[in-house]
Structure 1
Amino acid sequence: MLRGSAYFQSSCPSNNRIYGKTVIITGGNTGIGKEIAIDLASRGGRIIVVCRNPEKALMAVKEIKEESGSSNVYSYSMDLSSLQSIRVTAAKILEKETRIDILINNAGVMMGSYAKTVDGFESHFGVNYLGHFLFTLLLLNKMKESPNARIINVSSSKHEEGKIDFDDLNLERSYSPFIAYANSKLALILFTRELSNRLKGSSVRVYSTSPSIPTSNSPRMYSILENMVSCSGLSARRAARSQVHCAVDSDAGKYSGLHFVDCKPTIPADQALDDESAKRLWDISLNLVELCDIRQRAKNCALDKRLDGKTVIITGGNSGIGKETAIDLARRGRFSISLEIKFKIIQFEIIGARVLICCRNEEKALNAIDVIKRNSNSDNVQYYLMDLASFRSIRHAAAIILENELNIDILINNAAVMMCPFELTVDGYELQFATNHLVGKIDFENLNGEKSYSPTLAYANSKLANILFATELSRRLQGTGINVYSLHPGIVQTELVKSIESCVQRFLINSITRLFGKSATQGAQTHIYCAVNKEIGTETGFYYVNCEKVEPSKQAIDEDTAKKLWQVSLEMVGLVDYCDI
């Protein structure tokens, strides 16, 4: 295919409607962004305009409503030059919005004098690229839950003049506003390609676009060029067409990772096709925005590990870390191959892991199954109902699993409750101790916390008990070929905080996890690492944090305490005569 030619022809833009879909547009208060918002609002979408100035945002919302005839337009304030502002805004969006279907990274600065962002990055690189990189990744898990979600990164034809200098990303050695702008737009296309590659198998599509220079306020940071742009550029409405096309067109939805110009897929410059540079930029960007790169480290250790024929059971696999673990493990297997046998093409499909999630709510289980199947491209996902607060429910679920499943290869005990008020299970045990199993200390005279109760200590004790259980179980299983691990996923943004009774504690923990915590996807990586990594397949009984073996607290490696807890636990669950490991 020749550079500049299209993969397919399509109307520009499509006439498709987007009723029920939520669209987020950065820089949607002016120029191209506002025209995109007007168009998509008129198509029935719920439009969210994100920009730095709250007053301008409200004014833009009013104008978009008037011109589109839609009242379904809203705004959030966010400064793309501040990583903290991006994190705070993303957290608000994730809390308030039930879905995100389309994200259009449109905002930017253009050809200004040398300046740095709040976090010390050259302004073009920091605002146009790095801010959108962080914003996209923070919203990505929510977008995965929407069928046919789309991400559009607005680049520029000027990317052809860009070159990523990994030794001088901030252009401190030699600065040109034109090159800085071009580099930031090249970075957006490389980001598009790498993100698309990493999202293969999911329902999320990613595109980059190069609109012609419009008549808008975008070049306000370089006023000398303002008249040139006004005279030579296309209107903002025309320049918005490619972004609208990528957001709504049915044919575009069949592809991902493509670059669009004038509503047509087009081959960008050679340097924008460099996959090695795209991967390197991704890794560097993760460090720059201080997103934990646990996912990448886990992939490096276990990228090619398949789970064909394996059965995986995950408790609490309906949400958060458990669901993300299920998606990854379900994805490790299913693929199709075609063979030509005696002039006939025969299609074979290899089914990978069979993933079983256990949770107590059937409606949530069914919703989770739908999300897991859609994002893993695997139909081999099932659920069992089980309430960990009821021994009877656990025995019933275990009996059904043993009856139905031919083999069980990986068991991930993930479900938990967190810092809830004092409550006893159906069987009379303190809820967190019974449900979860490091400041904790096992008080055998007060396991139920009835003498003195603190939700924080109860949670810590239950997690300490989990490590002691893993230590003792691994000792008893030596020589059997079954490996046992315990792990800490880190501070993760999950739904566990909902069970915290104190409003103050809930607010503080929510604030900390939103600003500094991992996403559920990142939190799941140590689970995945322990489940599939070949290097630790000969080890057992160890404790892992961030995909690395670490030493837990002293009380967690007390063998006498572990043995005593084992015996006491057998008596509690009524398995003294049944279980002799």
Structure 2
Amino acid sequence: MSYSTLSSRTVLVTGATSGIGQETARQLAERGATVLLHGRTAEEARAAADRLIATTDVEPRQLHTYSADFAHLDKVETLARQVAAEHPHLDVLVNNAGIAAPERHTVTADGNEVAFQVNFLAHYLLTCLLEPALTSDPGGRVVNVSSALHRTGSIQWSDPNRTRRYTRVAAYAQSQLALTVFAADQRVTAVSVHPGVCDTALLPLYAHKGISPAEGAANVVRLCDPAVEIVNGAYYDRATRVEPAQAATEDRTVKRLNKLADLLVSRSAA
């Protein structure tokens, strides 16, 4: 992996308080980037920044903290407004925040199945709202941290909240498929990446053993580097570009998902 400086780059990392997100923030900051760390609460985000300052040579001025609980879409809107106001030139958005779907079917206050909202809809809304701030300069991009489990998923178009038939693995896989499909949206330059099966809170969905979060994060950070050429809408399995699930390459599916997401986040479908 190239270790070129990223000192001119401003990167927002969602879910930066633990796991792959925390390590992504660390590696970006160590390479000189200005990193906007998002956490579910302000306390968690500040603690994550303090850990980086205490354990690295990162300058405190490189780190800015933000908070929003993605189970509440109004908090996502507030986050987007804050980021756009304070950082009108954003080079990279890393859509990383994610949860394992709970054992029991759970619906947010917004009326959406919680994994579908936190893992996909919140990132969809955040990306759309930050589109004006996302630079069109060469290298500007969105990196969606997806999962190989997207291949097992299907989007239940008539019941995306899975009120009729729910399993946690199917709900999680659906959210990851949606996030992967969203990378093919033409409004912004975007890719999705499976960083590898990592030893994080999501590990039980995959296996009993995984690589370190730092190893997984390296696959994310690589795609944030403007020196790394990407193909808009591409999917990467760790460092290798591969074909995603067939649904993720279909224009019809992309348009249908945008329409569904607009409806679920109460945005105009126009």
TM-score between the two structures when normalised by the length of structure 1? 0.44
- Residue in 2 aligned with 1:292? 268
* In the alignment, structure 1 residue 137 sits paired with structure 2 residue 114: no
For 1:110, give the aligned amino acid.
Answer: A
- Residue in 1 aligned with 2:180? 189
1:231-260 deviation per Cα after TM superposition (whole angstroms, max 9, x unaligned): 41111111112211111152324x211101
1:334-391 deviation per Cα after TM superposition (whole angstroms, max 9, x unaligned): xxxxxxxxxxxxxxxxxxxxxxxxxxxxxxxxxxxxxxxxxxxxxxxxxxxxxxxxxx
- Residue in 2 aligned with 1:212? 196
Q: SS at 2:16's partner residue?
A: coil
- Residue in 1 aligned with 2:76? 86
Provide the rounded CA distance (Å) in 2 between the counterparts of 1:252 and 1:139. 22
- Residue in 1 aligned with 2:35? 47
For 2:239, give the aligned amino acid.
Answer: C
Q: SS at 2:46's partner residue?
A: helix
Q: SS at 2:132's partner residue?
A: helix
- Residue in 1 aligned with 2:93? 103
- 5+ residue gaps, structure 1, are 1-12, 220-224, 295-581
1:31-88 deviation per Cα after TM superposition (whole angstroms, max 9, x unaligned): 0001000100011100011111221211110112233411211110111111100011
- Residue in 1 aligned with 2:216? 239
- Residue in 2 aligned with 1:488? none
- Residue in 2 aligned with 1:272? 248
Contact 1:38 1:67 in 2 (8 A): no
Contact 1:99 1:146 in 2 (8 A): no
For 1:162, give the aligned amino acid.
Answer: G
Provide the rounded CA distance (Å) in 2 between the counterparts of 1:234 and 1:148. 28
Alignment partner for residue 153 of structure 1, among 129, 144, 150? 144
Q: How does 1:540-551 map to 2 (within 5 A)?
A: none
Q: SS at 2:133's partner residue?
A: helix
Provide the rounded CA distance (Å) in 1 between the counterparts of 2:88 and 2:9. 10
Provide the rounded CA distance (Å) in 2 between the counterparts of 1:95 and 1:145. 18
For 2:163, give the aligned amino acid.
Answer: E
Q: SS at 1:164's partner residue?
A: coil
TM-superposed CA distance for 1:147, in Å, is 4.3
Alignment partner for residue 58 of structure 1, among 46, 51, 70? 46
* In the alignment, structure 1 residue 171 sits paired with structure 2 residue 162: yes
Provide the rounded CA distance (Å) in 1 between the counterparts of 2:225 and 2:78. 29
Provide the rounded CA distance (Å) in 2 between the counterparts of 1:214 and 1:123. 22
Q: SS at 1:232's partner residue?
A: coil
- Residue in 2 aligned with 1:375? none
Q: SS at 1:144's partner residue?
A: coil
Contact 1:258 1:265 in 2 (8 A): yes
Contact 2:17 2:44 in 1 (8 A): yes
CA, structure 1 residues 274+241, in 2 after alignment: closer, same or farther (shift >3 Å)?
same
Provide the rounded CA distance (Å) in 2 between the counterparts of 1:251 and 1:22. 16
Contact 2:222 2:228 in 1 (8 A): no
Provide the rounded CA distance (Å) in 2 between the counterparts of 1:285 and 1:18. 33
Contact 2:139 2:225 in 1 (8 A): no
In our comparison, the structure showing a higher alpha carbon Rg is: 1
TM-superposed CA distance for 1:185, in Å, is 0.2
Contact 1:117 1:127 in 2 (8 A): no
Provide the rounded CA distance (Å) in 1 between the counterparts of 2:233 and 2:54. 34
For 1:182, give the aligned amino acid.
Answer: A
TM-superposed CA distance for 1:283, in Å, is 1.3
Provide the rounded CA distance (Å) in 2 between the counterparts of 1:218 and 1:77. 21
Provide the rounded CA distance (Å) in 2 between the counterparts of 1:235 and 1:247. 19
Contact 1:22 1:101 in 2 (8 A): yes
Q: SS at 2:215's partner residue?
A: helix
Provide the rounded CA distance (Å) in 1 between the counterparts of 2:129 and 2:71. 16
1:497-551 deviation per Cα after TM superposition (whole angstroms, max 9, x unaligned): xxxxxxxxxxxxxxxxxxxxxxxxxxxxxxxxxxxxxxxxxxxxxxxxxxxxxxx
Alignment partner for residue 126 of structure 1, among 107, 111, 117? 117
User: How many aligned residue pairs are there?
Assistant: 267
Q: SS at 2:157's partner residue?
A: coil
TM-score between the two structures when normalised by the length of structure 2? 0.93
Contact 1:38 1:65 in 2 (8 A): no
Q: SS at 2:71's partner residue?
A: coil
Contact 1:192 1:206 in 2 (8 A): yes
TM-superposed CA distance for 1:145, in Å, is 5.1
Provide the rounded CA distance (Å) in 2 between the counterparts of 1:111 and 1:94. 30
Same amino acid, percent of matched pairs: 30
Provide the rounded CA distance (Å) in 1 between the counterparts of 2:159 and 2:10. 38
* In the alignment, structure 1 residue 22 sits paired with structure 2 residue 10: yes
Contact 1:21 1:45 in 2 (8 A): yes
TM-superposed CA distance for 1:128, in Å, is 0.3
